[in-house]
Amino acid sequence: MIQFLHVTHTYEGTWKGIDDITFRIEPGEFVFLTGTSGAGKTTLLKHIYMEELPDTGRGGRVLIGLPGEDVFDSNRIRRSRIQRLRRDIGVVFQDFRLLTDRDVWDNVAFALRVRGHSGKLLKRRIEDVLERTRLTSRRHAHPHELSGGEQQRVSIARAIAGEPYIVLADEPTGNLDRENAEGVLDIFRQLHASGTTIVMATHDLQLLERLPHRQLQLENGRLKTRWF
């Protein structure tokens, strides 16, 4: 469960960010986060994994519920709990953030080791996720040897390898041609089918028409369509 209650975030020294955002996403939902560049999509996603926190003193809060865990509350969370939260959230960043000096395999392995995986299970998980993202034959390539579509898939493989309950994807088809975008969407469709909660930021309207999921529409930091 992801819940925002009157969340406002203003970047220091500006009036920009997100403004009085309220919504709720149930476990297993696939939700699109839409809006033009600068609307606040990335800022909103950062509040889900608590890289940013709501402005203090304005009453806003973010609540994240995960199976078997007390609710994570942005108003009273400590750093160690944020680390715990992030173990169960996979993030596909807009700018990939791959480790450039490591190959595909090691990029995925690194993310799993941080989550405490090792040995045979680690190896099996990497093999499985590279298969699902069609990267098996590229496992020894370094990021600079990969196409844009392949780099995007590595960033997805890394985000989903730990089998997180929630996956956040920041414009994962933004730099891809139709065919590569299709491949990426297929991965998210399968994830959704297996029960993962997905929040995908996008401004690709064609994509929205083809996948009829709920939309949270941002405009100048505000939610245009409200859902509770």
Ligand X SMILES: Nc1ncnc2c1ncn2[C@@H]1O[C@H](COP(=O)(O)OP(=O)(O)O)[C@@H](O)[C@H]1O
Q: Does 7 bind ligand X (CB under 6 A)?
A: no
Residue 11 binding partner per list ligand X, Mg ion, none, with a CB distance cut-off of 5 to 8 Å that depends on partner kind: ligand X
| Residue 2 makes contact with ligand X by CB under 6 A | no
11 lines the binding site for ligand X (CB under 6 A): yes
Q: Give CA–CA dist 21/30, Å, rounded.
A: 19
Per rule CB under 5 A, count of chain residues that contact Mg ion? 2
Q: Which long-range contacts (CB under 8 A, 24 or more apart) does 51-58 make?
A: 52/9, 53/9, 53/77, 54/7, 54/8, 54/9, 55/8, 55/9, 55/10, 58/6, 58/8
By the rule CB under 6 A, 169 interacts with ligand X: no
Footprint of ligand X on residues 12-41 (CB under 6 A)?
14, 16-17, 35, 37-41
Task: Compute φ and ψ for 18, nearest 5 degrees.
Answer: -130, 155
**Tokens found for residue 132:** 């699902």
Of 13-52, which residues contact Mg ion (CB under 5 A)? 41-42
74 binds, options Mg ion, ligand X, none, Cβ within 5 to 8 A by partner type? none
Out of 3, 34, 43, 152, point to the residue binding ligand X (CB under 6 A): 43
Pairing of strands 214-219, 30-34: parallel
Name residue, tokens 């590569």: 180
- By the criterion CB under 5 A, which residues form the site for Mg ion? 41-42
- By the criterion CB under 6 A, which residues form the site for ligand X? 11, 14, 16-17, 35, 37-43
